[in-house]
């Protein structure tokens, strides 16, 4: 069940971020949305968190293009690449972009309806990451538990077969009633 949820969530999130990233880079999908995003990124570039630390003003055009390109790259990784480590890396990258988007919306003073999608997708990406780590831990525990169970069955069955045979052989050889303790050691009378 967790595997189906994980795969479908990864594919759907990946497709969504490919779509959103494409609208940030080019107007092929929607000219109006692209124009609106260009205006918004002028405001977002002014409140970029590393502007003061780096003493560098980020051009809004490049800020929008870099964010859009990262969303496309991470979205492709989430939707198409089967390696779970790469998917988790892309998930963490998209989480960082969503934190940056929520921060930008907050600093600009956007109303909640503008920042709500960033928060929703932040929680969806967080949920995917939690499901993935829980699913991996569950698989790990199941494999180890099955191995321990199989080992205990082998050990138990070998011990139950070996002990009576050993006591019969020793009784026949020595003629003395010797028994075996729980650890397989001979007890002498």
Q: What is the number of other CB atoms lying within 10 angstroms of the CB of residue 2?
A: 13
Cα-based distances in Å from 54 to 48, 49, 105, 107, 180? 11, 9, 21, 18, 77
What's the CA gap between 107 and 95, in Å, rounded?
18
pLDDT in tens, 32-69: 988 888 898 889 888 888 777 777 888 888 989 999 99
Confirm if 90 and 63 have CB atoms less than 8 A apart: no
**pLDDT attached to residue 65:** 92
The predicted model scores a pTM of 0.69
Look at residue 72 and tell me whether its pLDDT is greater than 60. yes
pLDDT bucket at 175, cuts 50 / 70 / 90: very low
Mean pLDDT throughout 6-18?
Answer: 90
**Among 83-87, 95-99, 168-172, the least confident range:** 168-172
pLDDT in tens, 88-102: 899 999 999 999 999
Q: What is the number of other CB atoms lying within 10 angstroms of the CB of residue 85?
A: 8
């Amino acid at each position: 069940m967790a595997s189906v949820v994980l795969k479908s969530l990864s594919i759907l999130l990946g497709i969504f971020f490919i779509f959103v990233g494409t609208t940030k880079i080019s107007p092929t999908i929607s000219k109006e949305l692209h124009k609106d995003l260009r205006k918004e990124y002028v405001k977002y570039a002014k409140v970029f968190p590393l502007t003061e630390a780096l003493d560098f003003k980020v051009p809004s055009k490049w800020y929008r293009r870099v964010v859009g390109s990262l969303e496309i790259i991470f979205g492709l990784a989430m939707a198409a690449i089967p390696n779970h480590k790469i998917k988790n890396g892309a998930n963490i990258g998209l989480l960082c972009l969503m934190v940056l988007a929520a921060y930008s919306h907050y600093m600009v003073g956007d109303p909640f309806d503008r920042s709500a999608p960033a928060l929703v997708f932040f929680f969806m990406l967080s949920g995917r990451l939690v499901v993935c780590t829980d699913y991996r831990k569950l698989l790990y525990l199941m494999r180890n538990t099955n191995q321990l169970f199989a080992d205990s069955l082998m050990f138990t069955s070998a011990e139950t077969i070996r002990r009576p045979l050993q006591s019969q052989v020793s009784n026949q050889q020595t003629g003395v009633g010797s028994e075996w303790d729980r650890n397989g050691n001979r007890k002498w009378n």
